[in-house]
Amino acid sequence: MYVPYKNNSLMKFEVIFEPKINRIVLVSKSYSKDKDLIDFDYITSKLKVILKTEDPQGSNYSQIHIQLNESQSFQEPFKKMNPVKKYQIMVLNISNFTPSINQKKHTDFEIVNIINNYDLVSKLHKIQNIAFENSWGYSPNTKDQIIEKIESDNSLNDGIFFALANNEPVGFVWPTKDTSKDKIGYVSMIGTHPKFTGKGIASALLNKAINYFAIKKFKSIKLEVDIENIGARNVYGKLNFIDEETKFWFEFSSRSFI
């Protein structure tokens, strides 16, 4: 949906339904260049219609989350609320990065790219849901949802790499691209099986992704990390990722929209 600002310029919010965790997510997909107020009354009116249609009994969606950038988070009514989560956007400039042809080999696992779509979807469905099952706000993905994502314009399927141990996925990295800007890549997801943490899998996958983006001549790479995950932020920092922007998540009760 498109939400007007005070000066009648528009920003776009994507509305995502996650019935498995009883949540609706609003993610801003475009931003106004100024800091005028978001028309929250308009958001409220739209969500009332959505909830009336999607959840007439008021039982399917107990949480409504909205993601905002830093300037938006200081606007009404959000400045009166405490965010439930903060994520740091980090960026790496690779315009002068020289890709490596021969990547390091590992004894406990191998890193592979899977071309066959059936196998790709099957392994993504398995490892993604295992790796993130205990992460905040994660909604398990069906195979159909994964198919939809790999068929989207921003997915880079030849850059999806898996760490395999005994031919089973124990980690993965999923790169995407910014379709509106020139050569900006994203490490959209990177995850490790909980039983295989501490073996260097995430670092190996991230290095593989960086190398992939460099070969494809991308100019920069961005990723998003929980601001409380100091260990991951330190790892990214050692690879020369720097902080660019903070994203804030606010939570509303569905009662706010009755």
Euclidean distance between CA atoms 120 and 142, whole angstroms: 13
Average pLDDT, the chain: 84
Residue-wise pLDDT for 197-242, tens only, equals 888 899 999 999 999 999 999 999 999 999 999 988 988 998 899 9
- Tell me, what's the pLDDT at 19? 83
**Max avg pLDDT among 27-31, 52-56, 123-127:** 123-127
- Tell me, what's the pLDDT at 102? 59
The rounded percent of the chain whose pLDDT value lies above 70 is 86
Q: Which of 141, 256, 241 is nearest to 191 (CA)?
A: 141
pLDDT at 101 over 70: no
Q: Which CATH superfamily is domain 95-218 in?
A: Gcn5-related N-acetyltransferase (GNAT) (3.40.630.30)
Mean pLDDT of 14-42: 73
Q: Decide the pairing of beta strands 168-177 and 10-18.
A: unpaired
Residue-wise pLDDT for 137-161, tens only, equals 888 899 999 999 999 989 999 999 9
Q: Which of 83, 25, 17 is nearest to 228 (CA)?
A: 83
Q: Where are the domains of the chain?
A: 2-87+247-257, 95-218
Please give the model's pTM, rounded to 2 decimal places: 0.83
